């Protein structure tokens, strides 16, 4: 088993260790885990603690648990839930080459809708947030931090907490990738223009326009990311 520094809660330690073992191929998708007694001994936890960790992993889609049968490792790309996605993002392990592009495509599917809803429900709050963009330093870190805060605020203001939960799964990782994206002056300039245009739509309370400009910017961000990552 890979080495892990044990956190305060033994069940959390066991859960993290098993996820790491799945991701590093110790227990690949389709394989079965050792019996409870052996696995608990390997992890250095009690069997009740191991059962708690296994139940969490079964809930999230990492494992298929059926009483009386060996515990099977799922194909987490097909059977996993949002917690699996968050674990993959924060694992520190290499991700598929097109993973970030695919995440941006998901954002393209969501962001226009939550931007429209945010302007419909809380145009003044959206405008107040965007007004801060003009004073931002022209640095990748500053733009990355603001962009995260903006999208988080828009999801909250949209009134649909599912958007926020999905976005929160990428906290930290979002800004890390955004700093790479914003290393290009063209990307920083495009986003500053987007913030100014979106601010104008919020000040007018024009939700359909907010949706449209957000869609256009999300499409452009995919193209810019491909340039930044050498895909174009």
The model's pTM:
0.78
Q: Which tokens go with 105?
A: 């495509």
Q: How many residues does the chain have?
A: 232
Q: Which tokens go with 177?
A: 């990738």
Cβ atoms of 7 and 14 closer than 8 Å: no
Alpha carbon separation from 93 to 23, 100, 202 (Å, rounded): 8, 14, 40
pLDDT by residue (tens digit) across 152-174?
999 999 999 999 999 998 888 88
pLDDT by residue (tens digit) across 35-82?
999 999 999 999 999 999 999 999 999 999 998 899 999 999 999 887
8-state DSSP, 8: S
CATH class of the domain defined by 99-228: mainly alpha
Please state, in angstroms and rounded to a whole number, the distance separating the CA atoms of residues 13 and 36: 16
Please state, in angstroms and rounded to a whole number, the distance separating the CA atoms of residues 111 and 194: 13
Domain assignments of the chain as residue spans, ordered by start: 10-80, 99-228
How much is the pLDDT for 4? 47
Sign of the Cα pseudo-torsion (195, 208, 170, 222, in order): negative
Sign of the Cα pseudo-torsion (125, 131, 136, 141, in order): positive
**Nearest CA-CA partner of 36 in 12, 69, 8:** 69
**Nearest CA-CA partner of 205 in 110, 95, 125:** 125
pLDDT by residue (tens digit) across 99-137?
889 889 999 999 999 999 999 999 999 999 999 999 999
Please state, in angstroms and rounded to a whole number, the distance separating the CA atoms of residues 10 and 6: 7
User: CATH for 10-80, among 3.40.50.2300, 3.30.465.10, 1.10.10.10, 1.25.50.10?
Assistant: 1.10.10.10
8-state DSSP, 5: -
């Amino acid at each position: 088993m890979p080495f892990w520094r044990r956190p305060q809660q033994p069940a959390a330690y066991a859960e993290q260790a098993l996820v790491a073992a799945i991701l590093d191929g110790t227990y690949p998708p389709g394989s079965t885990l050792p019996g409870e007694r052996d696995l608990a001994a390997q992890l250095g936890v009690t069997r009740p603690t191991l059962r708690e960790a296994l139940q969490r992993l079964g809930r999230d889609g990492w494992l298929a648990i059926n009483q009386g049968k060996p515990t099977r490792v799922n194909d987490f790309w097909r059977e996993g839930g949002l917690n699996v996605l968050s674990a993959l993002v924060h694992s520190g392990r290499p991700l598929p080459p097109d993973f970030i592009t695919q995440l941006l495509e998901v954002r393209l599917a969501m962001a226009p809708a939550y931007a429209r809803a945010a302007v419909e429900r809380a145009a003044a709050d959206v405008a107040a947030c965007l007004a801060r963009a003009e004073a931002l330093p022209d640095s990748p870190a500053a733009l990355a931090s603001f962009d995260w805060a903006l999208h988080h605020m828009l999801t909250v203001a949209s009134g649909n907490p599912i958007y926020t939960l999905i976005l929160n799964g990428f906290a930290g990782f979002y800004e890390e990738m955004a700093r790479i994206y914003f290393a290009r002056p063209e990307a920083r300039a495009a986003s500053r223009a987007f913030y100014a245009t979106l601010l104008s739509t919020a000040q007018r309370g024009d939700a359909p326009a907010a949706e449209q400009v957000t869609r256009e910017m999300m499409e452009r961000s995919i193209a810019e990311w491909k340039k930044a990552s050498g895909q174009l």
